[in-house]
Structure 1
Amino acid sequence: MQRILILLVFMLAFSAKAQINAEIFEDGDPYDARVFSDSLQLSEFVTDLQLSWINKGYFFSGVDSINVSSQTIRIYLHKGDMMNARFEGFKGKNLDKHLQRELSSYANRGYPFASFELDSLKFLNKNTLAGKIRITSGPEIIYDSAFFFTKPKTSTSYIYQLLDMVPGDLFSEKNHKEISRKIERSPFLLINRPPDLSFKKNRAITFLDIKEEASSTFQGVVGLQQGSEGRTTAVGSVELDIQNLFRSGKQFKFSWESFSESSQELNVYYKHPFFLDSKLSPSFRFELLKQDTTFLTRLVGIGIHTFISPRTQLFLEYERTGGTLLSTDIELLSISGLADFTRTNYLIQFSRGVFSSLGKFKKAMAWNISSAVGRKSIDRNLNLPDSYYDTIQFQTNAYRLEGHIAYQLPVLKRQAFFHSVRVGVLENDELLRNELYRIGGLRSLRGFNEKSIFAEQFLLSRFEFRSFFENNSYAYVLYDQLVYSGSLSDQPFGVGLGFALATSSGQFSFALAVGKSIDQAISFSTMKAHFGYVAKF
């Protein structure tokens, strides 16, 4: 009976060292010499080597001896003779892959030093061996508190939950390998180098070199656009986005926008990460939109976020939307296609990446896709005659499909392409104007008035060629293209230029754009200018 995997003696001897110098010998001859980041990586290397030998028929390969010095581990292996073999419970040719799957399963359930033995061996003939494969779990390993090279201000409880390494939980080799990717779940945490790992007294200690970035923002934007009577009017918005509320990873967001004469929008959002130490993060949002003196739309959403892979998040939400008419001018309402309504939706969304990270000079991508299904009812307004509702369906099904992908690709020494594509589709037998998509302005189609375009379906492409003169500062030229349909179908576009200038406490931005559509020609008089400042803290 021959044990295949290295025993834990040398692992424990080197448990306090971040890196291990190792020399591997095969039948007395040097085979390999390298530096391993930790004992787990060394164990995996030797295991994979022996499994490859076993798959070639060297079933008696194993460890002859281990020599441990203060500087180096020397591991002496032997291959043995090549033979054919039949093992109980296994059929097939890829024995190494079968054993690797079994060992990986143990390693991800708290047994990273699981090993296997060949048991009950007997010779069927001179060159054929028969026996059983027996797996020994080894010691159970649990997570201990992590060691931080720089003590974080953010709650360590939040970091443990974010990285799936809560003290007391069973160690997972897979989770450890994914730490560098899981840190990208947070917009305010960065990892400076791959994590190290050591084992001591059946506990895994992770060494983390984490950097915290200022990601909370307060921003104000002022824009100039043509009013309804041809006058130049000022529009603007303010937004407070706290990404790490109370240093616990909670998010609170408040925004207010005045996008045209007597028209405003208010949004409030809150997200509570890892509620009651679970994998679930509940959220709440409230949105209120007032369109001049015509209508008011309000939305309340309650959702749950959870990660289903290192960087992919699942979001489920129940949302309730209500539309209320502010005007009872029957002529205006008939032309506009407006009515009071109540709609409930059930939404599912998948997302990956942080869109705000696309402002730095690096290759990056973020995306999300969502679908919502619900029911809508038209509510009678007692100030309108019954005849107004003669052709209206009061109860209908409502569907919505949306997607957004954005990426930045460096192409030259300090230049990069940025491209963002958004799509949206609304499907309903009684679609009203006061529930359509609103497009136009600095954050959607530049060169047009804020939220001036109503659409049932749309595809919006925003392209920028950026020239960086600092990591967060750049000048750019832009081209935005919209394709939409609704009561009107068109393919408007906007062109322009701008810059983003990083300061010690935030970023100043400026954009100048002009647009062309069916009812707007390219003209200096229709040019839109936007000024903004984002303060980071």
Structure 2
Amino acid sequence: MRYLIIFFLLFYCVSTAAQEKYYLNINAADKDSGFLTKGFSYEKEFADTTTRTAELKKLLTKLYEKGYLETAYYFAGGDSSTVSYSLFTGIQWQWAKLYNGNIDAVILDRIGFREKLYSGKPFSISQVIALLNEILGYCENNGYPFASVYLDSFKIDHNNLSARIFLLKNKLITIDSIKVQGNVNISYRYLANYLGFRLPSVYQEDLVKKIAVRLKELPFLTEEKPAQILFQDRYAYLLLYLKKKNASNFDFVLGVLPNSNTTGKLLITGDGRMNLINPFGKGESLGLRFNQLQSRTTEMRLQASYPYIFNLPFGIDASFDLYKNDTLYLEVKEQVGIQYLFTGVNYLKIYFRNTGNSILSVDTLSILQTKQLPSYLAFNTNFYGVEYQFERLDYRINPQRGVAMIFSGEAGNRKIKKDNRILQLTDPFQPEFNFSSLYDSVDLKETQFRLTGNIDKFWLLSGRSSFKSSYHGGAILSNNIFENELYHIGGFRFLRGFDEQSIFASQYHVATLEYHYLLSLNSFAYLFFDAGYIENSALISYTSDTPVGFGAGLNFETKAGVFGISYALGRQKDNPIEFRSAKIHFGYVNHF
């Protein structure tokens, strides 16, 4: 029983100590009782004495900011939990006038200074400091990094304060060159344009402060140590310490797929890509892609871009695409665009693209029997479009944080070319039938719109775990859509678990969820789930579907490059999942 009583006593003491509060009482000795309540209220109850002391200092700062520059306090008494202070605020100081001493009117106009803003208003220390910093900031960004600004000619009339503001600019500094130390091959003109300096350029502090951030966003170099600015009389130059970073890559994917058209045999597909980033040291890029994704189907793409033409923040890019579908049709795309360049690889682009589609073979027997045009026709379309790309990733090769997106929208005028092989047909059973009338069922000239968008978002979950969510979408808006102008989706790149580019769509929306487990800097294991909505509104018939794909993969780095393997299953048109139809892909990426 004695021990039980001791336990309860100890418990009561601990509970009481844990609930102890501290109080603050402040009395404005030279003001009425409502002075603090109306404009300077403060907290009165605290969990510890440190927070209580901080609240007192906070109140004093607030009074100083409102012009009570003579504020002082005195300890008035207290006990272990409560302290009391007497506060003497004195008079509230006000601006009588704040005049311009010698500062150019254009500077004061740019920062929004007006003398009337300081006439008869409470004196505020933070307001004065902010004004001085704005003037200095303007000077530092317009060639005067050593400028100084100060108040002088003070006059005091009772509680009214007058002063003049003066500026000493010192020397005008011009940045005339950029020098690089390190093994990176890069043009100083490219660096100057990218960093925002049009050499020779007056000194700009804002641009100097952003050097490290902007260099970090370039994929082909890294900053070894902070940049230096070296001054020589009225001139200065930037000294950058840069190191080459592997950004160019060769990427090859080999697919081993069940061939639905050949029982018991496998279909081997290949997709090869080469991207050269900054090969000549001027920030340019070159790209080549060649693949054979289905039997007798070939695709090729050439792309090139060159930044900062005429030392302006504009770049030019061009691309050539060729797609040959078996013996059915051949599609050729030629595109040229002008980019407005932001930081890193981000840009806004306007472009023109000519798309030509020619028919290689015509099923004349089917046309004779059905008296209908085939699902693919020859045409030519001139598109005008806009494209925006934004990328901010922590590590471009194998990101764990960040976002990458690209959107495009285009409008074009499509002109159908009548095929002589169809026009010259004659039905022996209906010799009077004119096959040129088949083209009356379609608009020979029509405006078409296309929208596409891709978003990849990376989320870091822990030290080694990350999560990726993606969206890929596209839509063709047109009254008549032909089979040979549809999107080709499915396969290793997105919507996995299906044959490469085997799904033809006039509209598609694909969402992806991936879990990544990091093994090393460029190695990771992953699980993925793809879900899509597909529409095909080509001429023959309308179809829609909600395909689903899922699987797992592994990318592992070696001295020779990064090798990858993935296993994917897919379900389409409510068909059951078949493990014998699994898609296996082997990949290889080499960064150089």
For the aligned pair, the TM-score class normalised by the smaller chain equals 0.7 to 0.9
Distance 2:224 2:354 in 1: 43
Q: CA deviation at 1:516?
A: 0.5
Separation in 1, partners of 2:474, 2:132? 48
Residue type of the alignment partner of 2:495: L
**Equivalent residue of 1:162, what SS?**
helix
Letter in structure 2 aligned against 1:155:
S
Shift of 1:302: 0.6
Secondary structure at 1:353's aligned position in 2? strand
> 2:212 maps to what in 1?
180
Per the alignment, residue 86 of structure 1 pairs with 97
Contact 1:187/1:354 (<8 A) preserved: no
* Shift, 1:528, TM fit: 0.6
C-alpha contact (below 8 Å) 2:466/2:517 kept by paired residues: yes
Aligned with 2:551 (options 487, 496, 520): 496
Name the CA shift for 1:494/1:243 in 2 (closer, same or farther; >3 Å): same
2:324 corresponds to which letter in structure 1?
A: K
Q: How does 1:242-257 map to 2 (within 5 A)?
A: 242-257=276-291
| Contact 2:217 2:343 survives alignment (8 Å) | no
8 Å CA contact 1:465–1:476 kept in 2: the answer is yes
Report the Cα distance in structure 2 between the residues aligned to 1:321 and 1:481, rounded to whole angstroms.
Answer: 30
Q: 1:361 to 1:311 in 2, by over 3 A?
A: closer
Change (3 A) 1:92 1:339: farther
CA distance in 1, matches of 2:196, 2:560: 32
Q: Within 2, Cα distance between the matches of 1:124 and 1:147?
A: 53
C-alpha distance after superposition, 1:132-191 (max 9, x if no partner): 655554422222434545343333332332222354222222212222332244221223
AA partner of residue 401 (structure 1): L
Aligned length: 464
Confirm or deny: 8 A CA contact 1:341 1:376 kept in the other structure.
yes
After superposition, the C-alpha distances for 1:197-224 in whole angstroms (9 at most, x for unaligned) are 4544233443433232111112222112
Q: Distance in 2 between matches of 1:470 and 1:247?
A: 30
Conservation of the 8 A alpha-carbon contact between 1:337 and 1:432: yes
Report the alpha carbon displacement of residue 295 of structure 1 after superposing the two structures with TM: 1.5
**Alignment-derived partner of residue 449 in structure 2:** 399
Equivalent AA in structure 2 for residue 170 of structure 1: V
Amino acid at match of 1:242: L
SS at 1:388 equivalent: helix
Distance 1:221 1:429 in 2: 37
Indicate yes or no: 2:293 matched with 1:282.
no
Counterpart Cα distance in 2 of 1:312 and 1:98:
35
Deviations 1:281-309 (A, max 9, x none): 11110011111122111111111122246
Residue in structure 2 matched with residue 427 of structure 1 by the alignment: 477
Q: Are residues 350 and 363 of structure 1, via their aligned partners in 2, closer, same or farther at CA, if it must alter by over 3 Å?
A: same
Segments of structure 2 that go 5 or more residues without pairing to the other structure are 1-61, 70-91, 100-113, 119-126, 423-434, 537-541
Answering whether residue 397 of structure 2 is matched by residue 367 of structure 1, we say: no
Q: Deviating runs (4+, > 6 A) in structure 1?
A: 52-59
One-letter code of the match for 2:382? Answer: T
Distance 1:515 1:217 in 2: 30
2:386–2:410 Cα contact (<8 Å) kept? yes
Unaligned runs of 5+ in 1: 1-51, 60-80
Tell me if structure 2 keeps the 8 A contact 1:85–1:130. Answer: yes
CA distance in 1, matches of 2:136, 2:558: 52
Is the 2:532–2:547 contact (alpha carbons within 8 Å) kept by the matching residues of 1? yes
Give 1:265-280 correspondences, 5 Å limit.
265-280=299-314
Amino acid at match of 1:127: N
Task: State the distance in 2 between where 1:464 and 1:209 align.
Answer: 37
Matched, 1:108 2:141: yes
Please say which of residues 391-400 and 280-289 is displaced more in the overlay: 391-400
What is the Cα-based RMSD across aligned positions, in Å?
Answer: 3.1
Distance 2:398 2:383 in 1: 36
SS at match of 2:362: coil
Radius of gyration: which is bigger?
2
**Residue of structure 2 equivalent to 1:513:** 568
Does the aligned pair in 2 maintain the 1:358–1:408 contact within 8 Å?
no
Task: Write the distance in 2 (CA, Å) between the matches of 1:453 and 1:509.
Answer: 24
Aligned letter for 1:107?
A: E
Tell me, yes or no, if structure 1 residue 216 matches structure 2 residue 251: no
Q: Is the 8 A contact 2:315 2:341 kept in 1?
A: no
Which whole-Å CA distance do the structure 1 matches of 2:442 and 2:578 have between them? 41
330-339 or 252-261, which moves further after superposition?
Answer: 330-339
Rate the CA distance shift 1:475–1:136 in 2: closer, same or farther, 3 A.
Answer: same
Question: Residue 350 of structure 1: which of 372, 388, 392 is its match?
Answer: 388
> What is the Cα deviation at residue 480 of structure 1?
1.4
Q: Which residue is equivalent to 2:44? A: none
- In structure 2, how many angstroms separate the alpha carbons of the residues matched to 1:393 and 1:91? 68
Matched, 1:465 2:497: no
Q: Determine the C-alpha separation between the residues in 2 that align with 1:409 and 1:182.
A: 23
- 1:383 aligns with 421
Residues 357 and 124 of structure 1: CA distance in aligned 2, closer, same or farther (over 3 Å): closer
Asked if the contact 1:243–1:249 (Cα under 8 Å) also holds between the matched residues in 2, the reply is: yes
1:341 aligns with 2:374: no
Does 1 or 2 have the higher relative contact order (CA < 8 Å, sep 6+)?
1
- Alignment partners' CA distance in 1, 2:381 and 2:439: 18
**2:277 touches 2:283 (CA, 8 Å); kept in 1?**
yes
Give the match for residue 8 of structure 1. none
Retained in 1: the 8 A contact 2:184–2:221? no
Alignment of 1:144-155 (within 5 A): 144-146=176-178, 148-155=180-187
Deviation at residue 377 of structure 1 after TM alignment: 1.9
Tell me, yes or no, if the aligned pair for 2:339 and 2:347 is still in contact at 8 Å: yes
Which among 164, 171, 180 is matched to residue 139 of structure 1?
171
TM-aligned CA distance change 1:346 to 1:90, over 3 Å: farther
1:356–1:238 CA distance, 2 compared to 1 (3 A): farther
Show the counterpart of 2:491: 441
Structure 1 residues 144-153 or 375-384, which shifts more?
144-153
**1:163 and 1:179 in contact (8 A); partners too:** yes
**Aligned-partner SS, 2:498:** coil
Q: Match for residue 221 of structure 2? A: 189
Q: 1:136 to 1:314 in 2, by over 3 A?
A: farther
Alignment-derived partner of residue 32 in structure 1? none
- Distance across 1 between alignment mates of 2:382 and 2:135: 47
CA distance 1:92–1:295, change in 2 (3 Å) = farther
